[in-house]
Amino acid sequence: MRKTKIVCTLGPATDNEEVLRQMMLEGMNVARCNFSHATYDEHKKRMDMIKKLRKEVGQPVAILLDTKGPEVRVKNFKDGRVTLEDGQLFTLTADEVEGTKDKVSVTYNRLYEDLEVGMRVLIDDGLIEMQVEQVDRTNIVCRVINGGTVSNHKGVNVPDVDLSMPYISDKDREDILFGISQDVDFIAASFVQKKEDILQFVESGGRVGAIERHDRYREANGELSQSCVFTTRLVPRGTVYEGKVHEQIISELPIVPLPLVFDHDGYLQGGKGERNLEILLEELEENPHDPYVLYQVSRTLWLMKEFEKANGYFEKFYQFVPESGTGYRTNGVISYLYNLLELKKYEKGFQIIADEKQRLDAYADYHFACGTFYTQGIFADIQRYIGYLPEIERSYRRCLEIGEVPEHEGVLGNGSFKAAYNLGVWFEVNGKPKEAAVYYKMAAKEGYTPAKERLKKII
C-alpha cells in the first residue's frame, strides 16, 4: 500500500476539469490552494471543481488551504533584478527606496529591531546567503557570502531569529475564515517558528463551535421524544461564560455548528429539574429581569409539569426577551404556548400565535405548536374557535414544507413524521381515509409506530 501522499498545487495550469480529473486518476491525494496568490473567486472555482470531480471519480481528494504566513520579502528593484557578488556589502532597509545592487527595501519595516551583528540572512530560499555586519538605525548592512541573482519580491529568511512580527496577519485570518466557509479539509500553517505560533494559528478561526446534542424526554402522553439543541463547547482560549447553570458564553464571535453529535438522556432521570431550579432561582434573585434566566426557570418548571408556577416566569420572559439577537427566544415562545395549552389559556395563546406569525414562520416547531393549539382549542369550545378549523391542516402542511432543520433546535419529527401523522389524523376524522393513508404511510416509512397502528385499522 502506498503510504506517501501526493500533494499537488492548483493554479492556472490546472483550471481544466480534464486536467484535474487525470491528476486524481494518476494518484493526487491532496489539492493545495496557495493563498499567497490568486483571489477568493479563483480559489472557490478550483475548490468547487475538486469537490465535483472527486465525487465523479470516487476518490477522497482533500483540499488544503496553505496560508501565506508571516513572510518577509524584498520589494522592487529599479531594473527588476540585480546580481550580488561574493564579499560585497548589501543593505536591507525599512525605508522606501528603489532597489539597486547595493540596497533594497523589505516588506517588514521593523526587521532591523530583531537582527544583530553576526546573524545569517537568506534570500530566495537560501540561494543567497549573507551575514549581518552592522545595524544602523533602519538599515541592516550585510556581507554577501554566497551571491547570485535576486529579483523583485523574493523571500527573506532569518533562520536564527524569532521574529517579533505577528504570526497571524489580518490576511491570514480572513483566508482561514474563507477556508472554513468553503469546508476545506486541511489548513497549513506557513513559516512556523515556535509553539506559540501554532496556538495562535489554531485559535485564529474566529468562531465558536457548537456541538449537536440530542435530548431524550417523555411527552405528557408517555411517548418518548427527542429534541435537538446546539451547545457551545468548542471555544477560543480566554472565552468567558456567565451563569451558574446552562451557562452562556460572552463573545461576539459567530457560532457555527460542528459535525459532533451527542445523545443526552438526563431529562429521563429524576431530580435534574429540581437541582437546576434551585440554582436558577438564586440567579434570578440577582438578575430578576434577565430573559435567559427567566427562560431557563420557566422551561425547567414546564418540564417538571409545574405549569401554574411556570406561567408567571414565562410571562416575564416574554416581556423582557428581545425580539431578535438571542438563540433561545424561539424555543422559549414555543414552550410558553405549550404551557398555556396545559392551562387552557386559549385566548392568550391565540394572541401570541398571531403576534409571532411573521417572526417564527420559518420554524416547523412553531407551526406544529399552532396546529396542536388550534386542535385543542376547537375541542374545548367549538362554537368559539370553529373559525380556526382550516388552520389545523395549514399548520401541519407548513411543517412538512419546512422539514427538519437541526439548526432550529426543535423536536425531531415536528418537520416530518409527527406532522405527517397529525395530518393523517386530520383527514381520518374528516372522513377521508385515502388522504389519511397517504400521510400515515409517510410517517410509517420513518418508523413512527402510531402511524403503523393507524394504517392497520383503516386499510
Does residue 360 share a domain with residue 288?
yes
Lookup result for grid cell 394572541: 351
Instruction: Tell me if 74 is assigned to some domain.
Output: no
Q: Total structural domains in the chain?
A: 3
Query: What CATH number is given to the structural domain containing 112?
Result: 2.40.33.10
For residues 108 and 245, state if they share a domain. no
Domain shared by 315 and 393, yes or no: yes
pLDDT higher than 80, residue 256: no
**Does 239 fall in a domain?**
yes
Cα separation of the two ends of the chain: 57
Measure the CA angle with vertex 344, ends 343 and 347; round to 5°.
120
Same domain, 373 and 233: yes
- Residue range of the domain that includes 103: 81-157
Q: What is the DSSP letter of 92?
A: E
In a domain, 23, yes or no: yes
Q: What's the CATH number where 27 sits?
A: 3.20.20.60
In a shared domain, residues 295 and 362: yes
Assess if residue 410 is contained within a domain. yes
The lowest-confidence range among 80-84, 138-142, 150-154, 170-174 is: 170-174
Q: For the chain, what percent of residues have pLDDT higher than 70?
A: 84
Do residues 352 and 394 share a domain?
yes
Confirm whether 1 is domain-assigned.
no
Phi, psi of 25 (to 5 degrees): -70, -25
CATH of the domain at 327: 1.25.40.10
Mean pLDDT for all residues in the chain = 86
Together in a domain, 55 and 115: no
Cα–Cα distance for residue pair 36/25, rounded to 1 Å: 27
Q: Tell me the pLDDT tens digit for each residue of 322-347.
A: 987 677 899 999 999 999 999 999 99
CA 257 to chain centre: 4
Based on the fold, state whether residues 385 and 449 are members of the same structural domain: yes
Same domain, 332 and 254: yes
Give the pLDDT confidence of 82-130 residue by residue, as tens digits.
Answer: 999 999 999 999 999 999 999 999 988 889 998 999 999 999 988 999 9
Q: Yes or no: say if 445 and 415 are a contact pair by the CB < 8 Å rule.
A: no
pTM of structure? 0.56
